[in-house]
């Protein structure tokens, strides 16, 4: 299977990457942002489950491999520059390793004393129950 002519122009530690945005297939809520290399994109297409490239660990990872919170890919879209993709997914459990359905659970709030972060979502699970104590 050939990979479409996408623009893997971001290079981190020798890996050519594209930006991948995971979005809830039904609600369009943005769940997370990650990176994909060619192998991650191919694995995603072949299996129907979202795979990403971990820049911190320097390896391919299946979303949900340790939590069981898989992302079943329904559609893959690319932007006009072909350097980013949107994965429309059915999220099992939660996308965020901190226990929230979406990684975007904080809002920047302007207040008299400056700008603060406010948690605006509820946790779906407790990370220590899924990943163990750190």
Considering the segment(s) 10-98 as one domain, its CATH architecture is Roll (3.10)
How is the chain split into domains, by residue range? 10-98
Q: Per-residue DSSP letters for the chain?
A: -PPP-----EEETTEEEEEEEEEETTT--EEEEEEE-HHHHHHHHHHSB-EEEETTTTEEEETTTTT---EEEEEEEE-TTSSEEEEEEEESS-S-TTSBSSS--EEEEEETTEEEEEE-S-BSS-HHHHH---
Q: Please give the chain's pLDDT, 134 residues, in tens.
A: 567 789 999 999 899 999 999 999 999 999 999 999 999 999 999 999 999 999 999 999 999 999 999 999 999 999 999 999 999 999 999 999 999 999 999 999 999 889 999 999 999 999 998 888 76
């Amino acid at each position: 299977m050939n990979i479409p002519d996408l623009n893997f122009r971001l290079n981190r530690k020798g890996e050519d990457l594209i930006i991948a945005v995971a979005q809830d297939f039904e609600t369009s809520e943005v769940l997370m942002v990650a990176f994909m290399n060619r192998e991650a994109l191919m694995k995603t297409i072949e299996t129907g489950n979202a795979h990403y490239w971990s820049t911190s660990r320097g390896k391919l990872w299946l979303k949900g491999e340790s939590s069981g919170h898989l992302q079943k890919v329904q559609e893959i879209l690319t932007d006009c520059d072909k350097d980013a993709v949107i994965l429309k997914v059915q999220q099992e459990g939660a996308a965020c390793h901190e226990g929230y359905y979406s990684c975007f659970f904080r809002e920047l709030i302007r207040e008299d004393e400056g700008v603060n972060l406010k948690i605006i979502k509820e946790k779906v699970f407790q990370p220590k129950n899924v990943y163990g104590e750190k």
